[in-house]
Amino acid sequence: MLRSMFSAISGLRAHQTKMDTVANNIANVNTVGYKSTNTVFETTLTQVLRDGKSPDSITGGANPAQIGLGVKLAAITTNFGQGKTQNTDRALDFMIQGDGFFVTKDGNQQLYTRAGSFSFDGTGNLTTADGAVLQGWMADAQGQVNTGGPLRDLQVAYGATKQPKATDGTTIAGNLASGTATGGTKSFQQDMYDAQGTKHTVTFTYTKVAAAAAAPPAPAVPDNAWDMAMSEGATNYGTQRVVFGADGKVSTVGGAAATSATFNPTWVGADPVVADLSNLSQFATGAEVNATVQTGYASGSLNSFALANDGTIIGVYSNGQRQAIGQLALATFNNPSGLVNMGNTSYAIGDNSGNALIGTAGTGSLGSLSSGALEMSNVDLSEEFTGLIIAQRGFQANSRVISASDELLQDLVNLKR
């Protein structure tokens, strides 16, 4: 009877633990990035009342007679399945779709979390609600990210200046009508920049050249030639003769087989400007000639940022430029269930988790990232309520065993009367 009471007590303890686990899951049903847990029971030692016997030539075999001594907690497992998506349209809310953890640093301790709701601190660091700093790699001045380097705090400094870049190239496209009369012109303007970011409005002018004969060894000027000039106000930065082939495409520039022209402006710190003419044509009809791209820009300040699917933080500057600021690091583990829950929806490396495997989103087994959304808890309320009933009934049944054992003991005591 005492044995049955102790078995029932172990059952009470085990089902109380299950009740605690279920209650914690229900309490965190709306916690961002929370992963539900589940209890697993196993039997304790068994008392053998009679050993088993193998069959022989005289008698058959006999099974052992055993009585269990109760139940104990085998494990509390964590379900790392994907939680539902909640759209927030907030730029600092990040969600991992697939495997992986955000890497954060709290003091000298590295932590891992699925909760992607971040904010800025006073120095521009991206931090969790409890102050842990998001980790990754910062880009250099040219926007290049070295993901093979050590992790560091990710920082987005609003108002940070992007240095200007002098124009060293432009792309010119469109069509110069083949029927244009000799001396006819086509022109357009384009803004370019010097090394200090000062804007220069330059004019490209195309003048149709007459076909002419020339005494040898000078070649004849064909009917498909144009003189291309680049100027700013009264200042001419050079002229190049552009000749088109019978197919309407540029064949020579400045007398050489080429599809680009080079000009030398006299701006501050100016580089030669190379005009790409590979998209320029001479057909009877077609779109007017114009510039589509130029490589320079003025200085600008950081206005906003966006997150790419690979975790790259793209800065958007007031001068219209976009450049990488940094890249988020993600971590995965051979055994995520071995992580130690440190509270605040964060985990630390445990004895059985394995080391953190650091990488970027979308590589290996790591999932992709999206901004403006959060991963919600993966708690299934219908499952938890079912578990609540099971825990309650298990506790209730074990308490009845104790009550029944107490009544048997009472009857035993009453035998002396």
| pLDDT classification of 329: cutoffs 50, 70, 90 | very high
To which residue do tokens 């078995």 refer? 7
Contacts of residue 384, defined as CB under 8 A and 6 or more positions apart, other chains included, come to 22, 25, 26, 29, 36
User: Could you say which DSSP state residue 132 is in?
Assistant: P
What is the predicted pLDDT for the residue at 186? Answer: 92
pLDDT digits (tens, 9 = 90+) for 16-46: 999 999 999 999 999 999 999 999 999 887 7
Stretch 196-209: mean pLDDT, rounded? 93
Is residue 215's pLDDT more than 60?
A: no
User: What separation in angstroms does the CA of 66 have from each of 50, 356, 401?
Assistant: 7, 45, 19
pLDDT digits (tens, 9 = 90+) for 369-408: 988 999 999 999 999 999 999 999 998 888 888 788 767 7
Is residue 204's pLDDT more than 60?
A: yes
| pLDDT classification of 213: cutoffs 50, 70, 90 | very low
Q: In this predicted structure, which of 61-65, 114-118, 193-197 has the lowest mean pLDDT?
A: 61-65
| pLDDT classification of 339: cutoffs 50, 70, 90 | very high
Is residue 211's pLDDT more than 70?
A: no
Question: Could you tell me which residues are beta bridge partners of residue 201?
Answer: 191
Residue with the bigger pLDDT between 159 and 183: it is 183
User: What separation in angstroms does the CA of 377 have from each of 27, 78, 287, 386?
Assistant: 11, 12, 56, 18
The answer for 261, left when phi > 0, alpha when psi is -120 to 50, beta otherwise, is beta
What is the predicted pLDDT for the residue at 2? Answer: 62
CA distance 275 to 261: 5
Which fold does the domain 169-294 belong to in CATH? Tick-borne Encephalitis virus Glycoprotein; domain 1 (2.60.98)
**Shortest CA distance to 193 belongs to which of 320, 322, 324, 280?**
320
Please tell me whether the overall predicted TM-score, pTM, comes out greater than 0.85 for this model.
no
pLDDT digits (tens, 9 = 90+) for 72-112: 899 999 999 999 999 999 989 999 999 999 999 999 999 99
| pLDDT classification of 113: cutoffs 50, 70, 90 | very high
Beta strands of 164-224 (E only): which ranges?
169-175, 185-193, 199-208
- CATH 2.60.98.20 residue ranges of the chain are 169-294
Is residue 417's pLDDT more than 70?
A: no
What is the predicted pLDDT for the residue at 76? Answer: 92
